[in-house]
Structure 1
Amino acid sequence: MAEVESFTLDHTKVKAPYVRLIGEETGKKGDVIANYDLRFLQPNEKEVPTAGLHTIEHLLADLLRDRLDGIIDCSPFGCRTGFHLITWGEFSTTEVAQALKESLQTIAYETKWEDVQGVDITSCGNYRDHSLFSAKEYAKLVLEDGISDDPFERHVV
């Protein structure tokens, strides 16, 4: 069986919210992709409700791309405590944390419903399961706690 890094992480040792470089891989042609853990909430203590998480996902897809070049994907964890961010090339966790902070500030304090892309029946696979109110509240919660660029020691950006 393949070893999955996420399942080897001791979730009781991390201190959310944080950004963590999970790892990077180099393809056969030399292309590097990096995988980041964007952890919003402390594992096994809290989780983002699905409607809010879904709306945050749609907003981060746009907002993070405005701040970081080379984003491949940003997808929520099944545990609903954060997101995977996949990029071409590697950024420092500080750069990613700063981009995430700016994106969450936009979600929390500036975003209107009409700013959320892909929320109708033709562009979303579960268009009825969105909540901008929840997305804003959880963005504020993460910002209030502060985003660390280290998962084990609080170093808020």
Structure 2
Amino acid sequence: MAEVESFTLDHNKVIAPYVRVITTENGKKGDSITNYDLRFVQPNKGEMPTGAIHTLEHLLADLLRDRLDGIIDISPFGCRTGFHLIVWDNYPADVVAKALKETLTQIVEEISWEDVQGTDAKSCGNYKDHSLFSAKEWAKTVLDQGISTDAFERKPI
């Protein structure tokens, strides 16, 4: 069986919220992709409700692309404590953390329901399970705690 880095991480030792590089993989033609852990909630201590994480996923997929080039995907963790961010090439964790902080601030201060893409049956596979209110509350919580650039020590940006 393949070793999956995320399953070797001691989730009891990390201190959320943070941004960390999970891995950078190099392709056969010299291209590289980097997978980041955007952790919002302390593992095994809480989780975001599906409506919040679903709406945050849609908003991050849109708004984070305004700040970081080369985004391939933003996907929620099954444990509902954060997101994978996969990009072409790589950025230092602090660059991603600053972009995330700006995006979460925009969500809290500027975003209305009309700004959330993919919230109807045609464009979303579970369009009824969204909550902008809850997404904003979780964004506020992360901003209040500060986004660290280190998963094991608090180094908020």
Partners in 2 of 1:44 and 1:108 — Cα distance? 26
Q: 1:135-146 maps to which residues of 2 (within 5 A)?
A: 135-146=135-146
Cα shift readout 1:54-92 (whole Å, capped 9, x = no counterpart): 000000001110000000000000000000000000100
Letter in 2 for 1:73: D
- What TM-score do you get using the length of structure 2 for normalisation? 0.99
RMSD: 0.4
The residue matched to 1:119 in structure 2 has which SS? coil
Gaps of 5+ in 1: none
Partners in 1 of 2:9 and 2:37 — Cα distance? 11
In structure 1, the residue matched to 2:150 is 150
In structure 2, the residue matched to 1:68 is 68
In structure 2, the residue matched to 1:86 is 86
TM-superposed deviation, 1:37: 0.1
Runs of 4+ in 1 over 3 A off after TM superposition: none
Cα shift readout 1:110-146 (whole Å, capped 9, x = no counterpart): 1100000010010000000000000000000000000
In structure 2, the residue matched to 1:110 is 110
In structure 2, the residue matched to 1:28 is 28
TM-superposed deviation, 1:51: 0.4
The residue matched to 1:62 in structure 2 has which SS? helix
- What TM-score do you get using the length of structure 1 for normalisation? 0.99
Letter in 2 for 1:97: A
Partners in 2 of 1:88 and 1:71 — Cα distance? 6
Gaps of 5+ in 2: none
The residue matched to 2:33 in structure 1 has which SS? strand
The residue matched to 1:37 in structure 2 has which SS? strand
**Identity in percent:** 71
Letter in 2 for 1:67: R
Q: How many residues align?
A: 157
